[in-house]
């Protein structure tokens, strides 16, 4: 028999900080850190530990002796179970404080960087209903609350349309009202669910690999245009058309209504054919007079209004005069490249996803921007000395890599060509700090500013300006 895991109970412990991945921080009597999921700084609690590591515990607050003055009343009735908005119980100004604090600490602790100028974090004007894209899953076997499990009453309807419960790939939380996406998001979702139940259109069961309705993706842009993509597990023409015709008639404001038939093991859409049912196969977002065409597979920042603020910070820090050659690494669909193009001599964008580059080229042509060029390929393979020789020595590099940061070869190439300025945009300040540490012998951090894109969560973007020493 294996050794039984020993849990610990600590009483009257003050929560002192908010840490990585949205967890709060307390300290055990022996000085070891305790990471908590259901408390915030300023709470005084009793803690039951679950997992013990060498240097820390993971635990849950089981009793609250004192509630923090940083607490807010969560708006969402699903807050306790959903896990999507982990900081909804914290006042927004305190969320911003801890986001900025973690960003600065990562740069200093991981990167050992000297920060000459820290511009205060830029918060969102709208802390709810800010996402332009949401993805929901159907399930015929919804997640049940402890109250429902312990109740003697039989649960008749197990259909759900909502979000995955954290750590449970086959359990979906049924969502009545979500505060992340503006109306008519909730109305569309609930109407589809009710119609499907009323007309016995089967919800998907991931364990049994059976059912019809699998997922729905909904985009609502600042232009008012709406895209809805329904994913079916298999073809059932009669039921599929019944549902899609209902949606078309009930919500005529939908600009793009599309569907997918996907019978593979996972529900990723990027290798699937997307079929247009009504409207057009794309929608448009706008920013400073620029129009960006977005299709079902396009990547676009999920907070449209704050993306505009992020791009303005990026452009301002780049300090462009109209004479610079700019390289935009990890350009995605070329949004930043086109946004800065009018203040640059020329912009070169590089991205590994072919579909994204096609979108970038199409958008640039549509926007009549003729001083941008886009190239596709793995960054570490494309961004070479031959590439620089062919396209020119950049004066400024803007880089916006994925969460893992830049490949070491990319960092080495940047150091080799040594542009005057680098603007590093990151959604992960830990990997950003790691990359900056590799460049600190040649560059100083002239400015850093966090930009909050995701209120009610611990996620935050950070923009750093590097200048040659």
427 has catalytic annotation: yes
Cβ pair 461, 103 in contact under 8 A: no
DSSP letter at 90 equals: B
**CA atoms within a 13 Å half-sphere pointing along the CA-CB vector of 327:** 29
Nearest to 432 by CA among 72, 99, 104: 104
Contacts of 430 by beta carbon, 8 Å cutoff, 6+ apart: 20, 106, 110
Element (H, E) at 415: helix 408-417
Ramachandran sector of residue 227 (left: φ over 0; alpha: ψ -120 to 50; beta: rest): beta
Compute the CA torsion angle 56, 60, 66, 67 (nearest 10 deg). 110
Strand partners, 346: 325
Contacts of 433 by beta carbon, 8 Å cutoff, 6+ apart: 106, 107, 109, 110, 111, 113
Strand partners, 213: 203, 232
Exposed, middle or buried: residue 16 (CB in 10 Å: 0-12, 13-18, 19+)? Answer: middle
Residue 419 φ/ψ, nearest 5 degrees:
-65, 160
E strands, 44-132, are 44-52, 56-66, 118-122
Exposed, middle or buried: residue 426 (CB in 10 Å: 0-12, 13-18, 19+)? Answer: buried
Distance, in Å, from the CA atom of 92 to the CA atom of 310, rounded to the nearest integer, reads 19
Radius of gyration of the chain (CA): 24
Q: Point out the residues that are catalytic.
A: 427
């Amino acid at each position: 028999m294996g050794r039984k895991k020993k849990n610990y109970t600590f009483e009257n412990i003050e929560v002192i900080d908010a840490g990585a991945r949205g967890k709060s921080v307390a300290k055990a009597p022996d000085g070891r850190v305790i990471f908590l999921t259901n408390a915030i700084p300023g709470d005084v609690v009793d803690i039951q530990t679950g997992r013990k590591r060498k240097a820390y515990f993971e635990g849950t607050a089981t009793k609250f002796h004192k509630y923090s003055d940083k607490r807010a009343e969560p708006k969402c009735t699903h807050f306790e179970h959903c896990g999507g908005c982990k900081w909804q119980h914290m006042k927004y100004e305190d969320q911003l404080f801890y986001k900025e604090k973690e960003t600065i600490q990562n740069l200093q602790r991981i990167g050992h960087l000297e920060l000459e100028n820290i511009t205060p974090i830029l918060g969102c004007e709208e802390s709810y209903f800010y996402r332009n894209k949401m993805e929901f899953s159907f399930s015929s076997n919804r997640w049940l609350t402890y109250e429902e499990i312990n109740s003697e009453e039989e649960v008749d309807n197990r259909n759900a349309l909502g979000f995955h419960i954290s750590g449970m790939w086959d359990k979906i939380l049924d969502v009545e009202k979500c505060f992340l996406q503006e109306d008519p998001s909730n109305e569309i979702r609930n109407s589809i669910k009710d119609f499907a139940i009323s007309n016995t259109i089967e919800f998907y069961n991931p364990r049994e690999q059976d059912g019809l309705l699998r997922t729905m993706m909904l985009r609502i842009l600042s232009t008012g245009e709406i895209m809805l993509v329904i994913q079916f597990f298999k073809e059932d023409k009669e039921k599929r058309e019944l549902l899609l015709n209902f949606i078309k008639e009930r919500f005529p404001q939908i600009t793009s209504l599309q569907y997918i038939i996907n019978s593979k093991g996972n529900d990723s859409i990027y290798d699937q054919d997307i079929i247009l049912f009504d409207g057009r196969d794309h929608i448009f977002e706008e920013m400073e007079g620029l129009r960006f065409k977005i299709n079902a597979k396009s990547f676009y920042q999920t907070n449209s209004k704050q993306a505009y603020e992020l791009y303005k910070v990026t452009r301002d820090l780049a300090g462009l005069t109209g004479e610079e050659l700019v390289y935009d690494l990890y350009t995605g669909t070329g949004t930043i490249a086109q946004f800065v193009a009018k203040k640059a001599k020329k912009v070169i964008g590089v991205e590994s996803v072919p579909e994204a580059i096609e979108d970038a080229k199409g958008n640039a042509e549509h926007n009549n921007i003729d001083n941008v060029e886009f190239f596709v390929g793995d960054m570490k393979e494309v961004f070479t000395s031959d590439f620089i020789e062919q396209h020119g020595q950049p004066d400024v590099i803007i880089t916006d890599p994925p969460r893992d940061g830049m490949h070491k070869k990319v960092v080495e190439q940047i150091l080799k060509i040594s542009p005057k300025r680098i603007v590093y945009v990151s959604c992960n300040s830990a990997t950003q700090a790691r990359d900056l540490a590799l460049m600190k012998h040649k560059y100083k951090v002239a400015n850093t500013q966090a930009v909050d894109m995701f209120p009610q969560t611990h996620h935050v973007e950070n923009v750093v300006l590097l200048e040659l020493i």
